[in-house]
Amino acid sequence: MRSIGISDGSAQGAGQLTAVRIRDAAILRYGRDGFGVGLRAVAADAGVTAGLVVHHFGSKDGLRKACDDHVLTVIQSEKLKATTGGPAVALAQLAEIEEYAPMAMYSLRSLQAGGELAAAFVERMCRDAEEYLAVGVASGMVRPSRDPAARARYLAMQAMGTLLLWFSTRSGFGEVDDFRKELRALSNEVTLPALELYCQGLFADDTMLDAYLKDGGAAR
């Protein structure tokens, strides 16, 4: 699983490496079993004590926030690469889609859990989407939007909604290896129609959009 490690040979560096190990163990465990898992189980997975988890993260909510931050940072980084690196980078990411299974599992568990942390997770995802789409516009890979924030929110929610619906109707949760297979199956099914929509559009002309804009955005 992708992680951010620091190795400077100091006591502080060792502590940061331990925190990274705990965080990565939590992402895997929460993704597999949900957020009802206790700190002791996460600590056991990371090979530390529950007290050390509290030392680094303060509480279970603190640990979850650290997991949220890392997962969203990785998603944003990979999306930035896709929107600036051209087709070769995007296709390379598709070829190794299974590597993102732990992040996808965690994201879905966060949505399923609901509550303030889940709401904050979604809001951050929408803001990040706005940022990497803006980078794509600046690079010339993405078309500008009349409402960049609204477009970013729609695309982020559409992507997560697709994942949530797919895995809610299948046995995608459980072991990470099973989830990897489901993620590959989803990618194989939706990539072509998604690219057709994003690259070529759905309607044959702008009639619907023009009517909507002329009508003042349907009371927008």
Residue 178 pLDDT more than 80?
Answer: yes
Whole-structure pTM value:
0.79
Q: Report the number of distinct structural domains present in the chain.
A: 1
Q: Is residue 85 part of a domain?
A: yes
Alpha carbons 20 and 29: distance in angstroms, whole number: 14
Give the pLDDT confidence score for residue 52 in this predicted structure. 94
Spatial CB neighbours of 108, under 8 Å, sequence gap ≥ 6:
31, 160, 163, 164, 167, 173
**DSSP one-letter string for 11-59:** HHHHHHHHHHHHHHHHHHHHHHH-TT--HHHHHHHHTS-HHHHHHHHSS
Query: In angstroms, what is the C-alpha Rg of the chain?
Result: 20
Which tokens in the block code for residue 38?
Answer: 């206790």
In this prediction, residue 215 has a pLDDT band, given cuts at 50, 70 and 90, of confident
**Burial readout 30-51 (b: 16 or more C-beta within 10 A, e: otherwise):** bbbeebeeebebbbebbebeee
Residue 151: the pLDDT is 96
CA distance 153 to 133: 11
Residue 38 lies in a domain: no
- 8 A C-beta contact, residue 54 and residue 19: no
DSSP line for 62-131: HHHHHHHHHHHHHHHHHHHHHHHS-HHHHHHHHHTGGGGHHHHHHHHHHHHH-HHHHHHHHHHHHHHHHH
The sign of the CA dihedral 189, 194, 199, 201 is positive
Give per-residue pLDDT as tens, 73-85. 998 888 888 888 7
Average pLDDT of 140-157?
94
pLDDT at 11 over 70: no
pLDDT of residue 177: 79
Does the pLDDT value for residue 28 go beyond 90?
yes
Among the residue ranges 1-10, 61-70, 146-155, 168-177, the one predicted with the least confidence is 1-10
Is 25 within a domain?
A: no
Residue 194 pLDDT = 93
Between 32 and 11, the higher pLDDT residue: 32
What percent of the chain shows pLDDT beyond 70? 91
| Host domain of residue 66 | 59-219
Residue 5: the pLDDT is 38
Higher model confidence: residue 171 or residue 210? 210
pLDDT interval class at 87 (50, 70, 90): confident
Question: Is residue 127 over pLDDT 60?
Answer: yes
* CATH number of residue 189's parent domain: 1.10.357.10
